[in-house]
Amino acid sequence: MDPDHAAKFAIHEACREGKTTVVESLLNANPKLVSLKDDDERLPIHWAVAYNRLPIVELLVAQKNFDPDVQDGSGWTPLMIAASLKNAEGDPIVDLLLRKNADVTMKSNAGQNALHFAASKANLSTVRTLLAHKCSARVKDKRGQLPLHRAAAVGSIPILKVLLEEGKSPVNATDVDGLTAIHHAISEGHGDAAILLLKAGAEPDKRDAEGRLAIDLAPDSKVRKYILQTAEREGIELP
């Protein structure tokens, strides 16, 4: 990287590296750096959140004219980035952004809201917080997927429960490929998640765009057998 380029985006680099005092002195010298976009169309706040640098995030949100809903080149807001950090490590940042009135209805360029990201990473506590702040579990992204589809694909039973009960998520919604949440759960080998969805009213006879039932997508005979036997024990009829 040439020195001029590095100098221009020094605040972004300091945010990534967690150098709070450097960020502070750069902002003191030039407060407008808070809204400087780099080549990825990311502001310092996006990098600080992505690298989970809470002290720097606190510094940035305290700046005059701070916009909690600013989007990067992919349409991701700081809230979305925080919701997708692994092991729910972004929760303190999520809380901070919500206190700064971050808009939970914002969507990325792919049509996902913060709940999609939290569900994809199996971040249960984040999902609970977002739902408590009225982030909708009923929003479909551009692939036609609800957060429920994402939770089913990663096999998170606690998140599936919360999305269905608290989020009032539809259980049989289909994505652009005609797949319901139970199709996703079974195709990824999550038998327990499939049973939970069946108990919640998933329709086992729904076919995807290629005419396949959810049970047809079982990756192996073990998963298939587990679902068939457990469903029978629970009194659920499968086609």
The one-digit pLDDT tens for each residue of the chain (239 residues) are: 566 777 899 999 999 999 999 999 999 999 999 999 999 999 999 999 999 999 999 999 999 889 999 999 999 999 999 999 999 999 999 999 999 999 999 999 999 999 999 999 999 999 999 999 999 999 999 999 999 999 999 999 999 999 999 999 999 999 999 999 999 999 999 999 999 999 999 999 999 999 999 999 999 999 999 999 999 999 998 88
Q: Give the model's pLDDT for residue 239.
A: 84
Question: How many Å separate Cα 195 from the centre of its chain?
Answer: 23
The pLDDT value given to residue 152 = 98
pTM over 0.75, yes/no: yes
d(CA 205, CA 202): 9
Please answer whether residues 198 and 192 qualify as being in contact, where contact means their C-beta atoms are separated by less than 8 angstroms: no
CB contact set of 139 (below 8 Å; sequence gap of 6+): 107, 111, 113, 115, 116, 146, 147
pLDDT reported for residue 7: 84
Query: For 207, phi and psi rounded to 5 degrees?
Result: -105, 145
Q: Please count the residues of the chain.
A: 239
Domain 1-63 and domain 171-239, same fold? Reply is yes
**67-142, what's its fold?**
1.25.40
Report the pLDDT value the prediction gives residue 145, as an integer from 0 to 100: 98
Per-domain boundaries in the chain: 1-63, 67-142, 171-239
Do residues 16 and 10 make contact, with C-beta atoms less than 8 angstroms apart? Answer: no
Class of domain 1-63: mainly alpha
Q: Is CATH 1.10.10.60 correct for 171-239? A: no
212-230 per-residue burial string, b: 16 or more CB within 10 A, e: under 16: bbbbebbeeeebbebbeee
pLDDT score at 6:
74
